[in-house]
Structure 1
Amino acid sequence: MALAPAVAALAGALLRSWSRNAPMAVQAVVFPAFLLFVFDTVLGATVSRMGGGDSIEGTAALIALVSVMQGSLVAAVFVTRDRDSGLLDRQWTLPLPRGAYLGSRVLAEFLRGLASTVVLLLVAVALGLRFGGGPVPLIAAVTLAAGFGVACSMFVLALSARTDEKTVLMVFGAVFLLALFFNTGFAPADAYPGWLRPVVEHQPMSPAIEAMRAFFRGEVDGAATATAVAWCAGLILIFGWWANRSLASVIGARR
Structure 2
Amino acid sequence: MMHKYLIGNWKMNKTLQEAMDCIQYLLPQLEAIKDAIHSINLNLVIAPSFVHLWPIKELIQHHTLIQLAAQNCHHEIQGAFTGEVSAAMLASVDVKYVIIGHSERRIYQKETNDLLASKVKKVLAAGMSPILCCGENIEQRNTGEHKTAIYHQLKGGLVDLTLQEVQKLLVAYEPVWAIGTGQVASLEVITEMHDFIREILLEQYGMIGEKIPILYGGSCNAKNIAAILNGSNVNGGLIGGASLQVNHFMEMINNIT
Asked if Structure 1 and Structure 2 have the same fold, meaning a TM-score greater than 0.5 normalized by the shorter chain, the answer is no
- Greater Rg by CA: 1
Higher relative contact order (CA 8 A, sep 6+): 1
- Kindly indicate which of the two structures has a greater share of residues assigned to strand: 2
TM-score (norm 1): 0.27
TM-score (norm 2): 0.27
